[in-house]
Amino acid sequence: MPVLDSPASAQRYLPDPEVLSPNQNLLPLTAKANAQGHLEVGGCDVAELVARYGSPLYLLDEQTLRTACQQYRTAFVDNYPGSSQVIFASKAWSCLAVCAIIAREGLGFDVVSSGELLTALTALEQLQIPNPEARIYFHGNNKSRQELQSAIATRVTVVVDNWLELKILAELATPEQPVRIMLRLTPGIECHTHEYIRTGHLDSKFGFDPNQMRDVFQFITEQPALNCSGLHAHIGSQIFEQQPHQDLGEVMIGWLVAARDYGLNITEVNVGGGLGIRYLEADDPPSIAEWVRTVCESVKIACDKRQLPLPKIIAEPGRSLVGPAGITAYTVGSRKEIPELDRIYLSVDGGMSDNPRPITYQSQYRVAIANRLTAPLIETVTVAGKHCESGDIVVSAAEVPKTESGDVLIVMATGAYNYSMASNYNRLPRPAALLLVEGESHLILQRETDADLLRYDCLPSRLLPAN
């Protein structure tokens, strides 16, 4: 059995009160050990929540999410004398409650499907926010004709990705119903992150190739019903480097100037998102304020060099808004020890169906035993999911106290992409989700049931016994 050299407790993962940027903490800002030695988030005992609601269970800390939204907004006001808008990359976690909190904080939405569009619009409308369409930007590299028609009908801004949708929009738009668009281009900027989440380098499925842009500008000048207001670029996700974003302003303003040569009045520059978060102790992402400062300086320098007025900056963070606010709680089940390999497998009641990132991206996480937060960490285990896949490993080297079946294990920093990418693999129902705030838990996503799994199944009559 592997034993740690210097036993500590999982309290070391609790937020540092001097580190105020949520993306630089492993646990939500409200996380603490309570009098029972249990993990508490949003004033709620996590072990008690699992006893009440079951597991797996997604938990979202409202204060951490709101703080991240506020830090983005404040940083742009402090660092950019021009206009700015922060929009949420809702692919990170699209549901009514998350959208409502983000909308209440004054942010807009980046959507990439009719489903995300409907969710964002519904949240905005239920909050009675005026002109909801002004807050929504429709992305995607292969929007269907129906999705483009929905975008036109709801009057949201379409971020045009390629020639096909540009030509479809030109066909659908009319003088009576013009379309507001931005153009996505590939900036040719590399960053050191997983190859699947790099989107700014030239070999990417997203955006117009730079060599096409002048032809694109010319085409738009011939389409009076297409109102091109801005340019968009996104260089990737989970980025810690500042240099790529320092370079992006020069690239974007250069293309803004080129567009104006064709008579296009480009007034907005969308610099994407991509700020990383802390998943491991060794991770050292810039703070939200530092990232915003870099982006703003990049655009200001590029404009000053050309004596141009500042365009409106749009930024679209996703992971760095919602990721640090979330944790996932599991119940510990079986334990398998392999003395010959000095390995222990600790199995939990979820895995790749509620968090596919480890098997997809080789993502790493930190864990804690919520009902033993202050207990010494005395062994290293492999946390295994329950799915019928050898690769269903949640965490490969987790430091934990002595555990028992029934303990509550939590995985940190799972607010981004876990719910969004969840599946019914092995016909497992998707987990419930709770919003935690001021000692109260609020159900925001109901747990699926086994019956739900059959809801859309169809059994043709030809397969049934003949009467």
For position 202, what pLDDT does the model report? Answer: 56
What are the backbone angles phi and psi of residue 152, rounded to the nearest 5°? Answer: -65, -45
Res 1 pLDDT > 50: no
Structure tokens at 327: 């944790």
From the list 44, 191, 303, 388, the catalytic residue is 388
Average pLDDT in the 367-381 region?
A: 97
With beta carbons less than 8 A apart as the criterion, state whether 281 and 328 touch.
no
C-alpha to C-alpha distance for 311 and 227, rounded to whole angstroms: 16
What is the pTM (predicted TM-score) of this model? 0.94
Q: What is the pLDDT of residues 259-283, one digit of tens each?
A: 999 999 999 999 999 999 999 999 9
Q: Is 99 a catalytic residue?
A: no
Half-sphere exposure of 403 (CA within 13 A, CB side): 33
Share of the chain above pLDDT 90, in %: 89
Mean pLDDT of the chain: 94
Location of structure tokens 């590399």: 190
With beta carbons less than 8 A apart as the criterion, state whether 145 and 135 touch.
no
For position 400, what pLDDT does the model report? Answer: 97
Q: What is the pLDDT of residues 193-246, one digit of tens each?
A: 434 334 444 567 888 998 999 999 999 999 999 999 999 998 888 888 888 888
Q: What is the pLDDT of residues 80-105, one digit of tens each?
A: 999 999 999 999 999 999 999 999 99
For position 236, what pLDDT does the model report? Answer: 81
For position 244, what pLDDT does the model report? Answer: 83
